[in-house]
Structure 1
């Protein structure tokens, strides 16, 4: 077992603590992005109504093609009404250039990394060496930087959305929907979908029951979206980009701490301390 000197242990611990601080700051930045959106709508303290009973017209059920009570809960109608009252609300389908699910990947040792539902977190997409790869040929859609990814299946994961901020293209599997738009900021779009206003609408449009729930692209297109003023979209974007950079740096620092221990074992502590000097110099 390798036992480093107090100096090395303290330096490695300092680097790890710095990484955790950056990760915490990233979380606060994401929260500030969501708060910015709700405050701009005047809904920061809004509580959705939940009456003990409610009714729906048969004509509305026929028009929606839905007969389940879940779809007609009053809070869903109030969300739409509040968004429409802004004068800047549109159906999401009207502003999307691409709204398409991926396919079951043809996995390979080469090709593009695959993004599945476990990689799409709330306002972030995981992409690293652990992602499996698949061939691009025949893929219905390729993920590009600036796309918004939405989980389309799975209890606990369905409806999570994130803007894809990585430089490398990727492939979605058949549980991930790719949204692409040139009309609104994609980071703002992802934050909207993850907000209370977006998640309530997603909940409304989910189909199926038990473990077989689905959110299809044609239902995503029905979501009422607030095309916020530019300054709101910019503020939301800046907060999420700051979080993305903080989290990426946190990951780099954790990798540097791990690498420093490996260098100490293989090449001695002086080499490890020199490596830490360089790593801390860019923190």
Structure 2
């Protein structure tokens, strides 16, 4: 239990918070450790959060064809990076209506709605025709070096504790601008801030290397088959017979687009001997569910959603949790083990990754399918195919729902994987696996530089700036 003065409660925020969540022990302890009266707003040049009204997401491929602006959502942020490739598009009218939402290179993006946990730095070469979600507060600092300092401070243990206490509204958490600007921050010298910037520079270099290797992994299959320059046709009209429609069990025109048939023809011309139905490759296929009436903030077992599965990669550090009892009983069939393949089946469908080095008990929700494959084809070849342009087209073809795409397990079972000469498939598998592992090593290096910057801030708060500088000198 913590005890505070009534006058302290009234002066905490603009809204005079007196709830115990605001005066939690971690936050009050951090406040005593941070000396001085410097506030986050003292470093800000300009800041804004846009409230959008009727913005509608447009498929990226369609949007790029029409020259539409991009729309950056919180799901596109993985602190402190932005995955520009995952952004959707919005109408040109939104770009004209919300000029304050336009992204600016060098901005710091702070998630202030929902989980309010993510932070991102906008690189100088980021697409300028991008609008930023209203879930994030976008700000520029008076001194460029301060954006790196704030990014590391707000994600370190102490900055996170003070930021978390600002969340209001129990249903959808939100941090008000005035409260964010009043957030206490440590007053550090320009010298240590430059060292922190150096950490971020190395972090982004490693991230760029990791992304380059991952891009190469995603195109390995296409290069091996001579299909890296293949483009899907966009026919305005096409004819299909009733037999095809009844066999597919679909009557919607989207399912029968010419590009899907052209993709299969291209694979045949590239040497595909046949197309193996998914059931012949599967030992089992299932997906999870969310335990009824369970608070996902409580539990011992990480609970993965579609946002945690990207092409070739799985993020096991989910904030969502389930109980060990759920994991061992009602969700026992979806317990994730090394060698399992996870496939996203809702929202951003068709992302496939092999589970490796699973950190103990991990489970999945209903937006992720768990595939256990037999040895008919090399597993890394199958995943490489699912993540390449042709595999994505297959996921798109089999999906239902235009606004929020969904792949039912019935649809996944109707997938097919092209079979080539075994030597070709094994070469694709080996090359893809090697590139993915190299990419993960670079990602780990980027993460280490970020952790170094965060730890330096913590040491400066716990001890002093001299100790923090000594730590940085030894670490980098």
Superposition TM-score, scaled by structure 1 size: 0.88
Is 2:356 the counterpart of 1:165?
A: yes
Q: What SS is found at the alignment partner of 1:149?
A: strand
For the 8 Å contact 1:102–1:141, the answer to whether it is kept is yes
Change (3 A) 1:222 1:278: farther
Q: CA deviation at 1:3?
A: 3.3
Is 2:401 the counterpart of 1:217?
A: no
Q: CA deviation at 1:64?
A: 1.5
Larger Rg: 2
**For the residues of structure 2 that align with 1:128 and 1:56, how far apart are their CA atoms?**
46
Q: Give 2:298's aligned residue.
A: 109
Q: Give 2:257's aligned residue.
A: 73
Q: CA deviation at 1:240?
A: 1.1
Change (3 A) 1:271 1:231: same
Q: What SS is found at the alignment partner of 1:240?
A: helix
Q: What SS is found at the alignment partner of 1:225?
A: strand
Alignment of 1:1-283 (within 5 A): 1=38, 2-84=186-268, 85-87=271-273, 89-105=275-291, 106=294, 107=296, 109-128=298-317, 130-134=319-323, 135-136=326-327, 137-139=329-331, 140-154=333-347, 157-168=348-359, 169-183=361-375, 184-211=377-404, 213-227=405-419, 228-280=424-476
What are the superposed Cα offsets for residues 181-231 of structure 1, whole Å, 9 maximum, x if unpaired? Answer: 2424544433321211011111110124444x4201221222221355212
**For the residues of structure 2 that align with 1:149 and 1:129, how far apart are their CA atoms?**
15
Q: What SS is found at the alignment partner of 1:56?
A: coil
**For the residues of structure 1 that align with 2:280 and 2:398, how far apart are their CA atoms?**
17
| Runs of 5+ unmatched residues, structure 2 | 1-37, 39-185
What are the superposed Cα offsets for residues 105-159 of structure 1, whole Å, 9 maximum, x if unpaired? Answer: 45473332000122223332222263434430221311123322222122xx122
For the 8 Å contact 1:162–1:191, the answer to whether it is kept is no
Change (3 A) 1:100 1:129: closer
Cα RMSD between the aligned structures?
2.3
Q: What SS is found at the alignment partner of 2:427?
A: helix
Change (3 A) 1:210 1:11: closer
**For the residues of structure 2 that align with 1:11 and 1:99, how far apart are their CA atoms?**
49
For the 8 Å contact 1:89–1:225, the answer to whether it is kept is yes
Superposition TM-score, scaled by structure 2 size: 0.54
For the 8 Å contact 1:123–1:163, the answer to whether it is kept is yes
Change (3 A) 1:210 1:266: closer
Q: Tell me which of the two structures has the higher relative contact order, counting C-alpha pairs closer than 8 angstroms and 6 or more residues apart.
A: 1
- Structure 1: 4+ residue segments shifted above 6 A: none
Change (3 A) 1:267 1:129: farther
**For the residues of structure 1 that align with 2:322 and 2:407, how far apart are their CA atoms?**
25
Change (3 A) 1:93 1:13: same
